[in-house]
A and B are shown apart, each in its own frame.
Chain A
Amino acid sequence: DADVTQTPRNRITKTGKRIMLECSQTKGHDRMYWYRQDPGLGLRLIYYSFDVKDINKGEISDGYSVSRQAQAKFSLSLESAIPNQTALYFCATSVWDTNEQFFGPGTRLTVL
């Protein structure tokens, strides 16, 4: 969905490096989410934010941190990247009263 953008789309980095993935949305939604997807598996929730002042850990938050800079921006950081964080990362948004989430195109991250 073009209303949710992610940068970069692809990134290769080395073990130990700090990496930031960025997500921006023009949908005006309050809720934003970060997921990771490993090959052949479903998405797992890393962090979610219901508004600018609300940040919550998801299923697999260890090794990650987030920042909600504005309603439209939600960044995911890997403090010290490790190879098993190699995955496809998706950002998503939603309004408060529905399970319909709008996903970005994804960031493919490779940690060597």
Chain B
Amino acid sequence: LAKTTQPISMDSYEGQEVNITCSHNNIATNDYITWYQQFPSQGPRFIIQGYKTKVTNEVASLFIPADRKSSTLSLPRVSLSDTAVYYCLVGDDEGFQKLVFGTGTRLLVSP
């Protein structure tokens, strides 16, 4: 199974930009990189997905270098409500999209 490595936790303050980097050395050629957000006692929520280079939507940006062995989720101007756990996922190497959740990064945003 493909594995991902993320920092266990990060701290930030309101209004700052937060960048969370994920390593995924065994990503398969056709796999996408996907990020989810999870609040306590709730199911994860999809944030963004990308294959290479840069993807941006209304809530985040995703930067993926050419070798695709890592990716960085960028959250612009975080607020207190962005306090959550963020998961980086890639499909495994068995040729279909079976997501593997790691332990995620716990982001704490303070006033």
A: residues with CB less than 8 A from B are: 1, 4, 35, 40-45, 48, 58-59, 88, 90, 92, 94, 98-106, 108
With contact pairs A42-B87, A99-B34, A99-B49 given, residues A106 and B42 touching in the complex (Cβ less than 8 Å): yes
Chain B residue at smallest Cβ distance from A106: B43
Chain A residue at smallest Cβ distance from B31: A99
* Contact residues of B between 92 and 111, Cβ < 8 Å to A: 97-104
Extra inter-chain contacts (11) besides given A99-B49, A100-B49, A108-B41, CB under 8 Å:
A43-B101, A44-B101, A45-B100, A58-B98, A59-B100, A90-B44, A99-B99, A100-B46, A101-B44, A101-B99, A103-B44
**What is the CB-to-nearest-CB distance from A51 to chain B, in angstroms, rounded to a whole number?**
13
Top-4 shortest CB links A-B? A103-B43, A42-B101, A99-B34, A43-B101
Bound form: Cα–Cα A45–B45 in Å: 16
B: residues with CB less than 8 A from A are: 1, 32, 34, 41-46, 49, 87, 89, 91, 97-104
Chain A residue at smallest Cβ distance from B45: A103
Q: Cβ of A1: which chain B residues have Cβ within 8 Å of it? A: 43, 45
Chain A residue at smallest Cβ distance from B99: A99
Chain B at the A interface: mostly helix, strand, loop or mixed?
Answer: loop
With contact pairs A99-B91, A106-B41 given, residues A35 and B101 touching in the complex (Cβ less than 8 Å): yes
Inter-chain contact A99/B42, CB cutoff 8 Å: no
**What is the CB-to-nearest-CB distance from B34 to chain A, in angstroms, rounded to a whole number?**
4
